[in-house]
Amino acid sequence: MWSLYHARLHRRLKEEQWLPQHARILIAVSGGQDSVCLAKLLRDLQPHWHWHLAIVHCNHRWRPDSTANAHFVKGLAQQWQLPYKLVTALEPPATEAAARTWRYQAFREVACALDCSHVVTGHTQSDRAETVLLNLLRGASVTGIGTLQPVRPLGEVQLVRPLLDLSRTDTAAVCQQQRLPIWQDTTNLDCRYRRNRLRQDVIPYLREHFNAKVETALAQTAELLAADRAYFAAEVARVAPEVIRTAPPALDRDRLRQLPLALQRRLIHHFLQAHLPGTPTFTVVEAVRHLLNAGNGSQTSTLRGGYCLRVHGQWLQLTAMPPQPQSAPADSAL
């Protein structure tokens, strides 16, 4: 039976056309409440949309119950009569980040093998709120905070997150209403992971003492920032050819000085990212920006890759520094 949540998702999908009729869709199911909820809602909407659905589960081999977890998801797929694909890691990934990279690569490969045009994940508004907070705490810019979008390319397929309007409370309600079994991932309770601490301690505290709808508020912030991010990316692409000289690589100080601070920083960041290893830090971007009004011959300290930026009249030129075996790169501790 359809619930209000079915109707909400159906309406949203009609508005946004994220998952067109007859699409071949791969559902990433961990076994937790969010992805089980997603799979059930899509399964119930399937007759209206004529989708071809399949389920993928990734076994990271992290926990003693990983194989049982994979079996659990297989059981759901059988119950819903959906094709099921299991991908098992050869070696357990060393970090959360490595696991994520491996998982998305696996989604992509399985999608291609099954000829799917879309991969869907069960990310919710709660995940989005947590991502905003985590990124804020590490000092990210607009570009870094407004992540976790409903649609993004994943190689040749589209990655879609249809549940970004639902909170974790909502997905729990769906699972309860529909009497869906859920796999309890014991690592979700481990507060050594920062996201779990946010989920268990910080967000409930903020909800109680600051804003009863804190997750909605933070998800709205993410939505607003995503639009700002798209705008700035377009502006950087438009202005970059006027400001950046490619050979030899340099920034036009006269032109940069005329631009708003927000664009100055982004163009410098864009330039450094293109020419130096790693991600430029705020401190390095600011050090470069301070050279916009500095005298001829002024320069930054040695940056990653053994370069500096040096003032040559109108230009801020990327210059190779002589090797300095004794001293660490100036931004290495950042």
Ligand X SMILES: Nc1ncnc2c1ncn2[C@@H]1O[C@H](COP(=O)(O)OP(=O)(O)OP(=O)(O)O)[C@@H](O)[C@H]1O
Q: Which residues contact 277 (CB under 8 A, 6 or more apart)?
A: 304, 305
> How many angstroms separate the CA atoms of 121 and 131, rounded?
15
Pick from 58, 182, 244, 316: which binds ligand X (CB under 6 A)? Answer: 58
- Smallest gap from Cβ 21 to ligand X, in A, equals 22
- DSSP symbols for 227-296: HHHHHHHHHHHHHHHHHEETTTTEEEHHHHHTS-HHHHHHHHHHHHHHHSSSPPPHHHHHHHHGGGGPPT
Q: Which stretch binds ligand X (CB under 6 A): 6-14, 28-36, 235-243, 306-314?
A: 28-36
Q: Which stretch binds ligand X (CB under 6 A): 23-31, 150-158, 209-217, 323-331?
A: 23-31
Tokens (6 digits) for 252: 């036009």
Q: What is the DSSP letter of 186?
A: G
How far is the CA of 306 from the CAs of 250, 269, 282, 319, 329, in angstroms? 16, 17, 18, 9, 7
> How many angstroms separate the CA atoms of 39 and 53, rounded?
9
Cβ proximity to ligand X: between 128 and 266 the closer is 128
| 33 marked ligand binding residue | yes
Q: Is 123 near ligand X (CB under 6 A)?
A: yes
Cβ proximity to ligand X: between 28 and 45 the closer is 28
| 305 marked ligand binding residue | no
> How many angstroms separate the CA atoms of 326 and 308, rounded?
17
Tell me the number of residues near ligand X by CB under 6 A: 14
Q: Is 128 near ligand X (CB under 6 A)?
A: no
Q: Is 28 near ligand X (CB under 6 A)?
A: yes
Q: Is 29 near ligand X (CB under 6 A)?
A: yes
| 136: number of Cβ within 10 Å | 13
Cβ proximity to ligand X: between 28 and 316 the closer is 28
Q: Is 35 near ligand X (CB under 6 A)?
A: yes
Q: Which stretch binds ligand X (CB under 6 A): 8-16, 122-130, 199-207, 320-328?
A: 122-130
- Smallest gap from Cβ 215 to ligand X, in A, equals 14
Cβ proximity to ligand X: between 30 and 141 the closer is 30
Q: Is 121 near ligand X (CB under 6 A)?
A: yes
- Smallest gap from Cβ 279 to ligand X, in A, equals 18
Q: Is 34 near ligand X (CB under 6 A)?
A: yes
> How many angstroms separate the CA atoms of 70 and 33, rounded?
15
* Amino acid present at 206: L
**Could you tell me how many residues make up the chain?**
334
- Smallest gap from Cβ 130 to ligand X, in A, equals 8
- Smallest gap from Cβ 205 to ligand X, in A, equals 21
Pick from 100, 138, 207, 312: which binds ligand X (CB under 6 A)? Answer: 100
Q: Is 127 near ligand X (CB under 6 A)?
A: yes
Q: Which residue is nearest to ligand X (CB)?
A: 122
How far is the CA of 160 from the CAs of 16, 28, 118, 119, in angstroms? 11, 11, 7, 6
Q: Are strands 315-320 and 250-252 parallel, antiparallel or unpaired?
A: antiparallel
| Interaction site with ligand X (CB under 6 A) | 28-30, 34-35, 56-58, 100, 103, 121-123, 127
Which segments are annotated as binding site for ATP? 30-35
Which segments are annotated as binding site? 30-35
